[in-house]
Structure 1
Amino acid sequence: MQSVINTVKGTALGVAGYLTPVLKESKFHETGVLTPEEFVAAGDHLVHHCPTWQWARGEEAKIRPYLPSDKQFLITRNVPCYRRCKQIEYCEDKEKVIEDENDEDGGWVDTHHYDSTGSPTVEEKVCEMTLEAADAGDSGGEEKGESGAGDGDDDDDDEEGEAEDMEQFQASGLLDEVDPSTELRPRRESKPAGAGARSGAGAGGRAEGEGDDIVRTRTYDLHITYDKYYQTPRLWLIGYDEERRLLSVEQMYEDVSQDHAKKTVTMEAHPHLSGPTMASVHPCRHAEVMKKIIETVTESGGAMAVHAYLIVFLKFVQSVIPTIEYDFTQNFAMN
């Protein structure tokens, strides 16, 4: 039912966007919206500071006249997504209070203490750190002892006879002997497909058996378009599994915060491309959020320039898709 409602809304907004006049006068600081020219300026700034993003043209029949023909939307490809959103969700059953006598507050809370599918427990980490420190101490002592012994032998080496004649050494044939540590060995033949190299792991999971340490990584292509109706940027996503096969709708929703799946994030047709529908973060509140950020920066004595819009936009959209690691942009300070 929700998908039907989203489809009707999408169609209605498409018609409304077509009828909405193009914003000509800047209202960035007053309402948090952008003109097409400001969107292009912000896009140029993003591409300059983060070259993984590039401008794209799209299909000729879908070019928007209010944007430059070669700067219709922004795109970044093959963005990794290592985990599902469920793996980072907070759960009271997995937390534990870690007591610490040296801590004035009495300890701290490990939120994923009993998560057997995640990273090592605190005890395991402490044990590993202790063992590593001990090994480092032992090896350091050995190296120190060896180096000390070596220092004492330097004078003895100097007092031994003259250096060996290299021509005689070469004539002895010792150079022709093969050092077993550097001997080249033929490569093992790889197992044919289906011979048990991988087993039982779907996209985004872990391989079982021999490949247990291999993480199945999904990838996403992300697009940023200009929404004429809301006068803000809009983020689009399309995902692929490890074999570069398209993810299903339900699989993509696994990588979206459950507070936003099928509500803020919906499946819609891309405005510049034909093909499968893509997940889109609905832009209805983008201007409101941006306005609050501008006000916060202003109150703290700063000033936010319009060209930084997409840098900030990518920061607050991260809460919707927290496991898709696309944000390699510069840091942004609120004060």
Structure 2
Amino acid sequence: MDLQNLVNNVKSVSLSVAEKFTPVLKESKFRETGVLTPEEFVTAGDNLVHHCPTWSWARASDPSRVRSFLPENKQYLITRNVPCHKRCRQMEYDQSQEKILTSMEVGAEEGFAGDEDGGWVDTHHYNQETGSSQALELGQEMNEDDDGEEEALDLDDLVESGGLEDPDPNRFVAASNKPTSEVERPRTYDLHICYDKYYQVPRLYLVGYDENRRPLSVEQTYEDFSADHANKTITVESHTSLDCDMPTVHPCKHAEMMKRLLDQYAESGKELGVHEYLLLFLKFVQAVIPTIEYDYTRAIQL
């Protein structure tokens, strides 16, 4: 753990230096490469705030941290007190809950062309307590390779399976019929979405609190992240607008994943506008933090 933290810190410092020499993106390339200009980030953020009033814009902690390429009153997005009723270990695989769906079945249900070969496993199909855990299963695709670099998440199944449109009202809802001793006390999280100038994409930061509103340690926070991402895809780095370090979903593969999602939607006849970018972004990040109930966009049809 200490060695990994050291590596993360070195990477964070290196990227901070590199960002200073990275020019601000001026030309829109979100359809071609999945990246955003600062202006497009603000447009997408305004749309998120409009559809989900739990999100709001925030200012930098002090003038020295104001990023000149963003409006002073729109430095980053924040939502507070997001519930987290379960730890990720409570979503472990149980064969008795799974149902194998063919690609043809999934495609027919979601309106996408199916494939007779292969299929998709809904690991919690018969579990009304958690509903489908497809986001967690997809998150496991984002394992690290031998040199420590992240592999791109294969998102073809995400669109085919309807993972971006979750109609299940039972998903991530804590069961009320369990004895109190079996139910974890709820934690809460404050989530921040910043603009990463180096990678030219949104970056998600998180800070967690226990049931008494005491800040969680880094080790406690990792309990709420998919095991394949804790301390790997999730790193602890300096916040862009605040004088503190926070766990963050590393953005090195964000553009690639967003480009693939945008292409999948375009192929299905649902071309998305740049203002919808953050709605889509929040949905695929659910693979990394499957038990934090931040995605209030599930009812929004993209």
> Could you say which residue in structure 1 is the equivalent of 2:173?
none
**Partner of 1:15: helix, strand, or coil?**
helix
> Could you say which residue in structure 1 is the equivalent of 2:37?
35
Written as runs of structure 1 = structure 2, the 5 A alignment for 1:38-187 is: 38-59=40-61, 60-92=63-95, 95=96
Superposed displacement of residue 327, structure 1 = 0.6
Superposed displacement of residue 330, structure 1 = 4.9
Superposed displacement of residue 91, structure 1 = 4.3
Superposed displacement of residue 2, structure 1 = 1.2
> Could you say which residue in structure 2 is the equivalent of 1:321?
289
Q: Which has the higher helix share?
A: 1
Q: CA–CA distance in 1 between the matches of 2:292 and 2:20?
A: 32
Q: CA–CA distance in 1 between the matches of 2:299 and 2:212?
A: 33
> Could you say which residue in structure 2 is the equivalent of 1:146?
none
Superposed displacement of residue 271, structure 1 = 1.1
Q: CA–CA distance in 2 between the matches of 1:235 and 1:272?
A: 13
**Partner of 1:310: helix, strand, or coil?**
helix
1:267 is aligned to 2:233: no
Whether contact under 8 Å (1:256, 1:322) holds in the other structure is yes
Written as runs of structure 1 = structure 2, the 5 A alignment for 1:276-291 is: 277-291=245-259
> Could you say which residue in structure 2 is the equivalent of 1:2?
4
> Could you say which residue in structure 2 is the equivalent of 1:164?
none
Indicate the percent of aligned positions where both proteins have the same amino acid: 60
Written as runs of structure 1 = structure 2, the 5 A alignment for 1:296-307 is: 296-307=264-275
Given the superposition, is the C-alpha separation of residues 284 and 111 from structure 1 closer, same or farther in structure 2, using an over 3 Å criterion? Answer: closer
1:233 is aligned to 2:235: no
Q: CA–CA distance in 2 between the matches of 1:20 and 1:211?
A: 52
Whether contact under 8 Å (1:312, 1:332) holds in the other structure is no
- Structure 2: gaps (5+ residues): 100-120, 130-178
The amino acid of 2:82's aligned partner reads V
**Partner of 2:10: helix, strand, or coil?**
helix
Superposed displacement of residue 58, structure 1 = 1.7
Whether contact under 8 Å (1:236, 1:279) holds in the other structure is yes
- Show CA shifts across 1:130-177 (max 9, x none): xxxxxxxxxxxxxxxxxxxxxxxxxxxxxxxxxxxxxxxxxxxxxxxx
Given the superposition, is the C-alpha separation of residues 110 and 302 from structure 1 closer, same or farther in structure 2, using an over 3 Å criterion? Answer: closer
Superposed displacement of residue 302, structure 1 = 2.5
The amino acid of 1:305's aligned partner reads G
> Could you say which residue in structure 2 is the equivalent of 1:105?
none
Given the superposition, is the C-alpha separation of residues 85 and 215 from structure 1 closer, same or farther in structure 2, using an over 3 Å criterion? Answer: closer
The amino acid of 1:299's aligned partner reads E
Given the superposition, is the C-alpha separation of residues 72 and 97 from structure 1 closer, same or farther in structure 2, using an over 3 Å criterion? Answer: closer
Given the superposition, is the C-alpha separation of residues 25 and 213 from structure 1 closer, same or farther in structure 2, using an over 3 Å criterion? Answer: same
RMSD: 2.8
Residues 219-228 or 288-297, more deviating: 288-297
The amino acid of 2:242's aligned partner reads L
What count of residue pairs does the alignment treat as equivalent? 231
TM-score by length of 2: 0.71
- Structure 1: gaps (5+ residues): 99-108, 120-209
Q: CA–CA distance in 1 between the matches of 2:195 and 2:262?
A: 20
- Structure of larger gyration radius: 1
Superposed displacement of residue 4, structure 1 = 1.0
Superposed displacement of residue 18, structure 1 = 0.9
Given the superposition, is the C-alpha separation of residues 97 and 292 from structure 1 closer, same or farther in structure 2, using an over 3 Å criterion? Answer: closer
**Partner of 2:252: helix, strand, or coil?**
helix
Q: CA–CA distance in 1 between the matches of 2:183 and 2:234?
A: 30
Pick the aligned partner of 1:19 from 18, 21, 35.
Answer: 21
Q: CA–CA distance in 2 between the matches of 1:303 and 1:211?
A: 46
**Partner of 2:231: helix, strand, or coil?**
coil
**Partner of 1:226: helix, strand, or coil?**
strand
Residues 237-246 or 298-307, more deviating: 298-307
Q: CA–CA distance in 1 between the matches of 2:288 and 2:36?
A: 22
> Could you say which residue in structure 2 is the equivalent of 1:312?
280
Q: CA–CA distance in 1 between the matches of 2:195 and 2:23?
A: 14
Q: CA–CA distance in 2 between the matches of 1:111 and 1:97?
A: 4
Superposed displacement of residue 291, structure 1 = 0.5
The amino acid of 2:246's aligned partner reads M
